[in-house]
Amino acid sequence: MLSSSYCDVFALRLDREQAEEILPGDRVRTGENEFPQFDVVAIHGDKAWVRDPALGGDHIVPLSRCRRA
């Protein structure tokens, strides 16, 4: 059985249209909504390591989904 994300199930498109420079230390969001917001810890290639400042959880996300908050 394959695990699916909400993006896959509901065919959501979260990638941004225009190029935007994201750097470690920036505050970003990963969708169209204003929240939740994450702090960028590091960037490697096309991936960003982000931390949720409210809950402290770390995540790896595609850089194309990050938008500066």
Whether pLDDT at 47 is above 70: yes
**Predicted TM-score (pTM) of this structure:** 0.71
The topology under which CATH files domain 21-68 is: SH3 type barrels. (2.30.30)
pLDDT at site 12: 65
Q: What are 17-33's pLDDT values in tens digits?
A: 666 789 999 999 887 77
**Measured CA distances, 65 to 1, 26, 30, 44, 50 (Å):** 26, 14, 5, 14, 12
CA 14 to chain centre: 9
* Gap between the Cα atoms of 12 and 31, Å rounded: 10
